[in-house]
Structure 1
Amino acid sequence: MDSKVAYIGGLADTAQHLYDAYSTVMSEKSLSGVLDAILGEQRNDYPQTTARDLINRIVLGSYPNEATIKANFINGILLPQSPKTVSIFELPIGRSRVDMCKVNGHSAAYEIKTDLDTFYRLEGQLRDYFDVFETVYVVTSELRWRELPDYVPDTCGIYSYQQQEDGSYKFCARRRAVKSSNLDSEKQLAVVPKQYLCSLLNRDGRGISKASLVKICLEEHDCNEINRLFKRYLKQRYGCYWDRFRELQPEIYEIDYQWFYRYGLSPQTVY
């Protein structure tokens, strides 16, 4: 889509209002009404294009929130990787929810902290991620990556980002993550549903709790085996979501990435 390289910047408040009012499932007529309400007569000063396209351009160019940075990170870092790599949006881990993670030969978690975020919850989030993923990264702005709290371990990787003249974001690997071998097998198995554990342990699941299945799995498999099982589960469970997203991505607006990943509908049906 042309909108992916034709951003409109310098409209921070307007972009935030548009993002807050936007929904993927809104009709073109409804979105046009949103633009009229927020831009007023100034709408005539913008390119003559669809309402959805214009909202996408303004939001991506002027509102660097999590959705904007995540979409650019996907475009610049995750999509160019091997097609065998499976990326996952918003995976619940412990008491946290990792912004993006991926699995192929190894697993990696990415926590995004924009300039609109605080580092208040980061310590607990990193604790959860290091228990489950082999590598962990924090993704933050060029202005903030040197200001990460002291509790961020040296083994944590860092990506910084900076907006370019065309509105897109360039990501720079500031520190490479160190692969961990000290993973929490029980916490990994907590991510795996009971049905998968039953299949793994050749049990029908009737009359047995998930906690009991986890205990059996811990007794029958060592930590390396459980880590392999965990990664295999993620690939099997989310591979179809990522494959479908990769297929649809050229026709999806960036602000809709997560929605289409979740539902997998054709853009022609929604747009």
Structure 2
Amino acid sequence: MNYRQLAKIFTSSNISKVAAGDLELVQRITSEFPSLKAAQTLHDIFEESYKLLCKHYPNEYVVKNIIANNILLGTHSLNTASMLSELRIGSSKADCVIINGHSTCYEIKTKFDSLKRLPEQLLSYTSSFDKTYVVTHETHLAKLLEIHESMPKFGILILNERKQLSRKIEAPLNTNFDTDLMFHTLRKEEYTEIAKLIIGYIPSCSPTDLFSQCKEIFCNANNADANEYFKKVLKRYRKNDHNFVSRLPRSMKNLGISYNIHTKEKDSILFYLSRLNNLNKEMCNVLPIHEGQTV
């Protein structure tokens, strides 16, 4: 069975198609997997497909979804924590970062991934977050322990056969932050907010000078204070859509967190998940009632 093909139904591009009523990919894949043919709703299709991926093809989406369900929603709460996906730090992108009281980076290395860039990535992450974990498969453990011996600044989580995260090494708490590196992660509204928090106002100057002045303000702050400001603005400006995520099935929590989905698309996705009772082609062109009809 082509499980890599099955994984495509969880991609951002396909979710956009689903929101537009285009179920062609879902229909085609469903026809190729006998165990999916009995599903009566789109909700069931995603849930059953996810179970197959967990068992046969635990790719990055699966691992992120496990982190979303087991840590963000299981240990924390969307009321008090935010999960950021593909957060740029220097020349790298952190797979996911959960900000609660602490900022915790989770760098995912599935059994399909290489560890070639990992030491370079870890240098950035362990300088920017309170804690950093590498989430990996058992096959990478020996090599990871070698890396850890020379760089004991991160923890290790193993995804076991039951698709649970087992802590192999606890991540130490970082106290030495690279504020220059952290600043370049911030967007304009975030770094100006930090400047206002520190000096009481936003500097009045040209856009080019504003960047430089805000950077100077941030980097001159106490190391621990800069970290707190960093977490505060990221949590505020990049918070998750609690209402949308809570209404998605477990298999789709990560896409509700990680993908940039517009409000109308969210409404359409929820409509199809809750209303669709067959996957015939006529349904592909049916708009949700809130868009297609006037009540």
TM-score by length of 2: 0.74
For 1:47, the equivalent position in structure 2 comes to 38
**Which residues of 2 match residues 222-261 of structure 1 at below 5 A?**
222-239=222-239, 241=240, 243-244=242-243, 246-248=245-247, 251-252=248-249, 254=251, 257-259=254-256, 261=258
For 1:79, the equivalent position in structure 2 comes to 73
Measure the CA separation in 2 of the matches of 1:44 and 1:66.
Answer: 23
For 2:287, the equivalent position in structure 1 comes to none
The CA deviation at 1:143 is 3.2
Distance 1:141 1:204, change over 3 A: same
Whether 2:6 is the aligned partner of 1:14: answer no
Distance 1:44 1:137, change over 3 A: closer
**Which residues of 2 match residues 157-176 of structure 1 at below 5 A?**
157-164=155-162, 169-176=163-170
State the Cα deviation string for residues 153-210 of structure 1 (Å, max 9, x = none): 223111001123xxxx021111111101111111122222223333434125541241
The one-letter amino acid of 1:216's match is I
Distance 1:260 1:190, change over 3 A: closer
Higher normalized contact order (CA 8 Å, seq sep 6+, divided by chain length): 2
Measure the CA separation in 1 of the matches of 2:252 and 2:189.
Answer: 34
Whether 2:119 is the aligned partner of 1:106: answer no
Measure the CA separation in 1 of the matches of 2:103 and 2:176.
Answer: 13
State the SS of the aligned residue for 2:95.
strand
Measure the CA separation in 2 of the matches of 1:115 and 1:151.
Answer: 17
Query: How many pairs align?
Result: 247
The one-letter amino acid of 1:237's match is Y
Whether 2:145 is the aligned partner of 1:145: answer no
- Where does the alignment leave 5 or more consecutive residues of structure 2 unmatched? 274-295
Measure the CA separation in 2 of the matches of 1:234 and 1:196.
Answer: 7
State the Cα deviation string for residues 114-163 of structure 1 (Å, max 9, x = none): 00001011111111101110111000113322331633322311100112
Measure the CA separation in 1 of the matches of 2:35 and 2:246.
Answer: 35
Distance 1:225 1:270, change over 3 A: farther
CA RMSD of superposed structures (Å): 2.6
TM-score by length of 1: 0.80
- Where does the alignment leave 5 or more consecutive residues of structure 1 unmatched? 1-12
Measure the CA separation in 1 of the matches of 2:253 and 2:236.
Answer: 24
For 1:196, the equivalent position in structure 2 comes to 190
Measure the CA separation in 2 of the matches of 1:242 and 1:268.
Answer: 14
The CA deviation at 1:45 is 8.4
Measure the CA separation in 2 of the matches of 1:88 and 1:232.
Answer: 13
State the SS of the aligned residue for 1:119.
coil
Measure the CA separation in 1 of the matches of 2:252 and 2:36.
Answer: 22
Measure the CA separation in 2 of the matches of 1:125 and 1:69.
Answer: 18
Measure the CA separation in 1 of the matches of 2:82 and 2:252.
Answer: 20
Find the partner of 1:32 among 9, 24, 27.
27
For 1:134, the equivalent position in structure 2 comes to 130
Percent identity, aligned pairs only?
Answer: 21
State the SS of the aligned residue for 2:27.
helix
Q: Which moved more, 1:43-52 or 1:223-232?
A: 43-52
Contact 1:91 1:99 in 2 (8 A): yes
Distance 1:132 1:260, change over 3 A: closer
